[in-house]
């Protein structure tokens, strides 16, 4: 199915659920396909894996992308899918740290070092301590300390920046 056909099917689903309508293809990865919506702060994500349900467990922490809607759907056109509308994040965390956080070079280095390789348990306590020092990563630090599953080597690639400047995990 083409992205245009997917978008049409998703627009019908969005209308039924009174959610922002998908407008165009944004990105894809191993966990699904993401579409922009009429609301620039929200994306529609279509996947076949149920890992996105893990995000719901961690909503209270503020350390993961906000999920506004989540449902398993059986659709004639799309098949069995996991459909979600989520907070849009910018995956360019490094650019955010360099350009918007206005940190000293030493703090930039320490923060980026702590964010890279979170899945590697070595020096995890040190990394959590560094993350707690910055408001943008404080929630992430607390959630990791609470048990946020960081065993995925792809987690470093699945960090993003929200519109309000929090660094959060997505696709856990």
User: Three-class SS of residue 56?
Assistant: helix
pLDDT of residue 44: 96
Tell me the two tokens of residue 24. 């165009």
Rounded to whole angstroms, the Cα distance separating 113 from 75 reads 43
Say what the pLDDT of residue 162 is: 95
Pick 3-87's CATH classification: 3.30.200.20, 3.20.20.70, 3.40.50.1100, 1.10.3720.10: 3.30.200.20
Q: What whole-number distance in Å separates Cα of residue 14 and Cα of residue 114? A: 38
In this prediction, residue 96 carries a pLDDT of 96
pLDDT along the chain (172 residues), means of 10: 87 95 91 93 88 85 93 83 93 94 95 85 88 96 89 73 93 73
Q: What is the 3-state secondary structure of 79-109?
A: EEEEEEEEECCECCHHHHHHHCCCCCHHHHH
CB count in 10 Å sphere of residue 146: 11
What are the residue ranges spanned by the domains of the chain?
3-87, 93-169
């Amino acid at each position: 199915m083409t992205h245009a056909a997917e978008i049409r099917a998703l627009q019908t689903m969005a209308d039924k659920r009174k959610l922002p309508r998908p407008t165009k293809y944004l990105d894809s990865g191993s966990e699904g396909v993401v579409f922009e919506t009429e609301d620039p702060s929200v994306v529609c994500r279509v996947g076949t894996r149920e890992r996105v349900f893990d995000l719901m467990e961690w909503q209270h922490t503020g350390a993961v992308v906000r999920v506004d809607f989540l449902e398993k759907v059986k659709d004639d056109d799309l098949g069995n899918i996991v459909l979600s509308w989520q907070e849009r994040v910018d995956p360019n965390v490094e650019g955010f740290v360099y350009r918007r956080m206005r940190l000293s070079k030493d703090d930039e280095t320490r923060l980026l070092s702590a964010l890279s390789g979170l899945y590697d348990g070595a020096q995890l306590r040190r990394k959590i301590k560094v993350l707690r020092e910055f408001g943008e990563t404080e929630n992430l630090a607390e959630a990791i300390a609470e048990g946020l599953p960081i065993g995925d080597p792809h987690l470093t690639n699945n960090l993003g920046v929200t519109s309000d400047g929090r660094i959060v995990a997505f696709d856990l």
